[in-house]
């Protein structure tokens, strides 16, 4: 019998590669990550890939991220970019941004990835596909601008998956 301190943090990931869509679908373009996951459902993906709708979860994603070989995250990102800009970032790019965390409700992807490192369960590779939104007002539909870009964003995800499958 395992003592409590000997129990694993998370069960081994069934799929080594995770495609994680983040965002709030109630705020139009803020839900781009979730909308990409929806669009990828039913597509032929390389073996070992899991799609996951992470919505607005933060620390609840710890078990989902733990022990993965590769993680591809799609999320809306703010910054000094034109709306519709698609950025390809890695976890160290996010680490360079100053952060202030005041409560557990403000724990996001970066903090959750840091928790996986502290627990010895961090993914070996993390890529973030960040998209500058056009419209984050209340509403369920993506803005026309982001709707037009959705196929391009999906192509970026598929290219990342193909690159990782080849390596």
pLDDT in tens, 96-112: 555 544 434 356 888 88
According to CATH, the superfamily of the domain at 16-166 is HybD-like (3.40.50.1450)
Each residue's pLDDT tens digit, 67-90: 999 999 999 998 899 999 999 998
141-160 tens-digit pLDDT? 999 999 999 999 999 999 99
Domain extent listing, the chain: 16-166
Question: Span 12-16, mean pLDDT?
Answer: 73
Say if CB 69 and CB 17 are below 8 A apart.
yes
Write the DSSP string, 43-87: S---TTEEEEEEET-SGGGHHHHTT-SEEEEEEE--SSS-TT-EE
Q: Is the pLDDT of residue 6 over 60?
A: no
Q: Is the pLDDT of residue 131 over 90?
A: yes
Question: What's the pLDDT at 59?
Answer: 81
Looking at residue 81, what is its pLDDT?
92
Q: pLDDT tens across 15-60, in order?
A: 899 999 999 999 999 999 999 999 999 899 999 999 999 998 888 8
Cα–Cα nearest to 82, from 146, 24, 127: 146
* One-character DSSP codes across 18-49: EEEEE--TTBGGGGHHHHHHHHHTTS---TTE
For residue 119, CA distances in Å to 114, 123, 125, 145 come to 9, 11, 16, 40
């Amino acid at each position: 019998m395992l003592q409590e301190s000997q129990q694993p943090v998370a069960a081994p990931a069934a799929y080594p590669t995770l495609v994680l869509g983040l965002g709030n679908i109630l705020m139009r373009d803020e839900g781009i990550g979730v909308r990409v996951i929806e669009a990828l459902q039913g597509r032929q993906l390389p073996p070992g890939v899991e799609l996951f709708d992470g919505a607005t979860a933060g620390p609840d994603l710890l078990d989902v991220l733990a022990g993965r070989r590769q993680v591809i995250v799609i999320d809306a990102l703010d910054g000094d970019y034109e709306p519709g800009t698609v950025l390809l970032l890695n976890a160290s790019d996010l680490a360079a941004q100053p952060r202030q965390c005041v409560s557990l409700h403000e724990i996001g992807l970066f903090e959750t990835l840091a928790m996986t490192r502290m627990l010895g369960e961090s993914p070996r590779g993390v890529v973030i596909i960040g998209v500058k939104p056009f419209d984050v007002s209340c509403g369920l539909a993506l803005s026309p601008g982001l709707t037009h870009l959705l196929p391009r964003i999906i192509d970026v995800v598929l290219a990342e998956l193909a690159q990782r499958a080849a390596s």
